[in-house]
Amino acid sequence: MIQSSKQVQSLPAYLFSIFHKKKVALEAQGIDVIDLGIGAPDLPTPPFVIDRLIEEVRKPVNHKYSPYGGCAEFKLAVVDFYLNHYGVELDAETEVLALIGSKEGIAHMIGAVLNPGDGVLTPDPGYPVYQSAIHLAHGVTVPFPLDEEKDYAPDFDDISIRDRERSRLMLLNYPNNPTGATVHLDTFIDAVDFARKNDLSLFHDSAYDLVTFGDYQSPSLLQVPGAKDVAVEFGSLSKSFNMSGWRIGYVVGNKELIKALSVVKSNVDTSQFVPIQKAAATALSSDLTTVQANNRTYQMRLDLLVRAYKEMNIEVSRPAGTFFLWAKVPEGFTSQGFAEKMLGEAGVIVTPGNAFGKMGEGYFRSSVSVPIERLHEAVLRMKKAMKGGNP
């Protein structure tokens, strides 16, 4: 009998694929479902990026294999972006690697670093893919709490000696998914110091680095002096340039970690299609006015949803980054119970907080990556469902 590996058999189903199946089933019944669950931008990819893609697709030379580490133009664009935006200098050959989306890169990097049984300090609540990748690499997830009372910043002093000693690496993610929390450079200074003292590699998932509001600008982990001795940072064009389906990202930082990942990737893929890389280079080299326009749209939507939730007596604060709202479920509900009520009675998908870890229980996550008129409709439906009371 054909069987998958024990690691695959014991891997929980990916949360968002489960909700997608439920959505498809309801839509097959003629039910209009509004999806506030998944963080996929609905805004269009900038036309100048598409134009560059079309231009490069027409060139036969670009239909060959990409260099394993990525094409030179894309890597140099990443270098220039880091220098201009963060004041961080990078070596394009040794400190930059193109990825088929940051999700792929994080998963493969975890596999490139871990030995069976190694622990990974992982934020709770946190992006579920972290735990999946650790599991597939035969590692052990070692959660550390992100507490609302501490604004979802890590408390390094609270991580036990045992957890430090059994771990090989630590994951961070700011602006944070799912909480929307943001930090300043001092958090990264503490993180680098913690990693050094405990002989840890440090990975920072920076997928939402440009999705910020007001005066807040997300720092880079690599702005910390000496960060490249222990750390890498993963970036993505999915969220800021509305290129989620293009699957293009990068990792920058420590040469040895990037070399390890390049060995894995050269054996399992041949990087991303060259025209996509060149279009992405054009995006990163732009003046970011399209990114700022996106953020104004998200800010307007977030403001709308925050007001609506408060009218429903749901505790929530507008974040300084990401397009997510992390809110407390109403009294009397579990996270899963509230999400099921919204789907069943309102036709609205929200993500239960416990899907992101034990510390997520009692919360739910909403994405505002839907048009404003759909957001208005979702609010009306949720308010109507809430009038039905607690379960």
**Backbone angle region of 165, left / alpha / beta, with phi > 0 → left and psi within -120 to 50 → alpha:** alpha
38 against 285, higher pLDDT: 285
Taking 60 as the threshold, does the pLDDT of residue 390 lie above it?
A: no
What residues form DSSP beta bridges with 325? 366
The reported pLDDT for the residue numbered 15 is: 64
Taking 60 as the threshold, does the pLDDT of residue 348 lie above it?
A: yes
d(CA 75, CA 94) in angstroms, rounded, equals: 10
Question: Are the C-beta atoms of residues 250 and 78 closer than 8 Å to each other?
Answer: yes
Residue 339 DSSP SS3: helix
The reported pLDDT for the residue numbered 135 is: 96
- pLDDT tens column, 78-101: 999 999 999 999 999 999 999 999
The reported pLDDT for the residue numbered 9 is: 85
pLDDT band at residue 389 using 50, 70 and 90 as cut-offs: low
Give percent above pLDDT 90 in the chain. 90
Angle between helices 289-311 and 372-386 (to 10 degrees): 20
Stated as kind and residue range, the H or E segment containing 122 is strand 119-124
**Average pLDDT value for residue range 51-72:** 98
**Average pLDDT value for residue range 3-29:** 79
**Average pLDDT value for residue range 104-114:** 97
Taking 60 as the threshold, does the pLDDT of residue 188 lie above it?
A: yes
The reported pLDDT for the residue numbered 272 is: 98
- Nearest-CA neighbor of 340 among 353, 331, 330, 349? 349
- pLDDT tens column, 240-259: 999 999 999 999 999 999 99
- pLDDT tens column, 61-70: 999 999 999 9
Q: Please provide the average confidence, as pLDDT, over all residues in the chain.
A: 95
Q: What is the dihedral of CA 192, 39, 301, 317, to 10 degrees?
A: -50
pLDDT band at residue 373 using 50, 70 and 90 as cut-offs: very high
- pLDDT tens column, 303-342: 999 999 999 999 999 999 999 999 999 999 999 999 999 9
Q: Which CATH class is domain 47-284?
A: alpha beta
Q: Are strands 363-367 and 231-236 parallel, antiparallel or unpaired?
A: unpaired
pLDDT band at residue 273 using 50, 70 and 90 as cut-offs: very high
- Nearest-CA neighbor of 104 among 253, 280, 235? 235
The reported pLDDT for the residue numbered 201 is: 98
The reported pLDDT for the residue numbered 65 is: 97
The reported pLDDT for the residue numbered 25 is: 83
The reported pLDDT for the residue numbered 357 is: 95
* Segments making up each domain of the chain, as ranges: 6-45+289-386, 47-284
Beta strands in the chain (DSSP E): 34-35, 96-99, 119-124, 140-145, 167-173, 201-205, 231-236, 249-253, 324-328, 348-349, 351-352, 363-367
User: Which CATH number fits the domain 6-45+289-386, given the four candidates 3.90.1150.10, 3.40.50.970, 3.10.450.50, 3.30.1600.10?
Assistant: 3.90.1150.10
Taking 80 as the threshold, does the pLDDT of residue 71 lie above it?
A: yes
The reported pLDDT for the residue numbered 12 is: 73
The reported pLDDT for the residue numbered 16 is: 66
Question: Are the C-beta atoms of residues 128 and 122 closer than 8 Å to each other?
Answer: no
- pLDDT tens column, 126-146: 999 999 999 999 999 999 999
Quickly tell me which residue has 């049984």 as its tokens.
117
